[in-house]
């Protein structure tokens, strides 16, 4: 396999099925189907299969209407390692955002890779414009996401 390609494996197919089930009918801040964001995050993590799987499922527990069911399914079908990485990316209720980002940074590895892919997709100008059109405070979102990128990358500059 070339470093810039990946194969559709049974594990990726399983993750796609879980993703489709977890986000069925949901839209993101921009009004687009939520699964499109998850697909972009997963693809941004290619060719690392584990990172791609976690990218597809990065919000599945936090944003599903059935978090306990999704948690069980991920653990049963994809194993404890994938479940632990998805949990790394699951923001707990009442957890301050900066604490959440620092927790991801402390976990390292795939957790940081996937969160950065998530943040970069959230900072996509087209998505931000659509979110603005839906009434979201885009300036606040940009500050929040760029601070998170700076923390995760140890950058002193915020774009």
Per-residue pLDDT of the chain (159 residues; tens, 9 = 90+): 455 566 779 999 999 999 999 998 898 878 889 999 999 999 999 999 999 999 999 999 988 888 899 999 999 999 999 999 999 999 999 999 999 999 999 999 999 999 999 999 999 898 888 878 888 888 988 999 999 999 999 986 555
Query: What are the residues facing 27 on neighbouring strands?
Result: 33
Residues for the chain: how many in total? 159
Within 13 Å and on the Cβ side, how many CA atoms surround 103?
Answer: 15
Whether 82 is in a domain gets the answer yes
Give me the number of domains the chain comprises: 1
Whether 159 is in a domain gets the answer no
Q: How far is CA 67 from CA 63, 78, 106, in A?
A: 7, 16, 24
Query: Domain range holding 123?
Result: 10-153
CA distance linking residue 113 with residue 135, whole number of Å: 30
Whether 158 is in a domain gets the answer no
Angle, CA of 4, 6 and 10, to the nearest 5°? 165
CATH number, residue 20: 1.10.3210.10
Whether 32 is in a domain gets the answer yes
- Whether pTM > 0.75 for this model: the answer is yes
Whether 50 is in a domain gets the answer yes
Whether 27 is in a domain gets the answer yes
CA distance linking residue 144 with residue 147, whole number of Å: 5
Whether 123 is in a domain gets the answer yes
CA distance linking residue 125 with residue 100, whole number of Å: 24
DSSP letter assigned to residue 4: T
Could you count the other beta carbons within 10 Å of the beta carbon of residue 33? Answer: 14
Long-range contacts (CB closer than 8 Å, 24 or more residues apart) made by 44-47: 44/117, 44/120, 44/121, 45/110, 45/113, 45/114, 45/117, 46/4, 46/5, 46/6, 47/1, 47/3, 47/4, 47/5, 47/6
Whether 121 is in a domain gets the answer yes
């Amino acid at each position: 396999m070339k470093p810039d390609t990946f194969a559709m494996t049974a594990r990726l197919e399983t993750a796609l099925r879980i993703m489709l089930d977890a986000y069925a009918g949901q839209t993101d801040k921009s009004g687009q189907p939520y699964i499109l964001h998850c697909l972009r995050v997963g693809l941004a993590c290619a060719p690392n299969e584990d990172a791609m799987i976690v990218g597809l499922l990065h919000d599945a527990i936090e944003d599903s209407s059935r978090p306990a069911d999704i948690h069980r399914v991920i653990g049963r079908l994809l194993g404890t390692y994938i479940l632990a990485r998805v949990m790394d990316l699951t923001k707990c209720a009442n957890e301050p955002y900066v604490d959440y980002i620092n927790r991801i940074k402390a976990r390292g590895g795939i957790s940081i890779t996937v969160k950065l892919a998530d943040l970069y997709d959230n900072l996509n100008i087209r998505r931000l414009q659509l979110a603005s059109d839906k009434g979201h405070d885009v300036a606040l979102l940009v500050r929040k996401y760029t601070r998170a990128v700076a923390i995760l990358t140890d950058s002193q500059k915020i774009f």
